[in-house]
Amino acid sequence: QSTSSSSRGAFIVFEGLDRCGKSTQVSRLVDRLEREGRKARLQKFPDRTTAIGKMIDAYLQSKAEMDDHAIHLLFSANRWECAAAIKRDLEQGITVIADRYAFSGIAFSAAKGLPFDFCLQPDKSLPLPDLTLYLTLPQEEASGRSQFGEERYETVSMQQATRKQFALVAQEVIKIHGEDRWIEIDARGTIEELEDRIKGLIGNVTEGVNGDIGRLWV
């Protein structure tokens, strides 16, 4: 039993391109932790339920147009409006599993041509994930999965540009926060195979973490 009264919940982020299996794995992990008697909750980004989230949703469904900088800042604002609840839950011993976070924010906006440093700034000092799992899948496999192409950004050229930016994001995380916080995972295979792979790599971080919640890019 490694959970002590002084430990807090872990903040775990799943990242990756569209249709790589993130959402399936995030919900399976939350289900498993709950079955094991741990407190866990899922946090989806963008959170499309808030007022800001509804603007983001309209943009992603191409029902609204928006300047690239403006939508970038809205994605970040959507994280800031959830930040206090994430911190509160972590402090209460709840494991928070996020389906995307600031790393998607940078990778997608930089892929559209915004300067990398501009993309990074608005998320500075958000809660720092204890662990980010970056799922990778060859583009042919992702493009062949159902629903690929439904939303803005779901084109092969955009996904390929975003993949390059994710590699730069990974370098930045490792440079600023150390290599232990970023794990790249091959997302090929069945749902169960990937789930087992994730379980093996994630280790005991879901049992709780000691120390303060860090600040992103600080």
Rule CB under 6 A: choose which of 11, 14, 108, 166 binds ligand 2DT: 108
103 makes contact, choosing from Mg ion, ligand 2DT, none, with CB < 5 to 8 Å by partner type, with none
123 part of the interface to Mg ion, by CB under 5 A? no
- Is residue 15 a contact residue for Mg ion (CB under 5 A)? no
Three-state SS annotation for 124-150: CCCECCCEEEEEECCHHHHHHCCCCCC
Q: Using CB atoms within 10 Å of the CB of residue 142, give its burial: 0 to 12 exposed, 13 to 18 middle, 19+ buried.
A: buried
For position 46 contacting ligand 2DT by CB under 6 A, the verdict is yes
Contacts of 35 (CB under 8 A, 6+ apart): none
Please select the residue that binds Mg ion; options are 9, 10, 18, 111, rule is CB under 5 A: 18
Give the strand order in the sheet containing 40-44.
40-44, 95-99, 11-16, 131-136, 182-186
**Of the two residues 80 and 218, which places its CB atom closer to ligand 2DT in the complex?**
80
d(CA 158, CA 156): 6
Q: From the CB of 45, what's the least distance to ligand 2DT, in Å?
A: 4
**Shortest spacing between CB 1 and Mg ion, in angstroms:** 39
Q: Which residues here bind Mg ion, judged by CB under 5 A?
A: 18
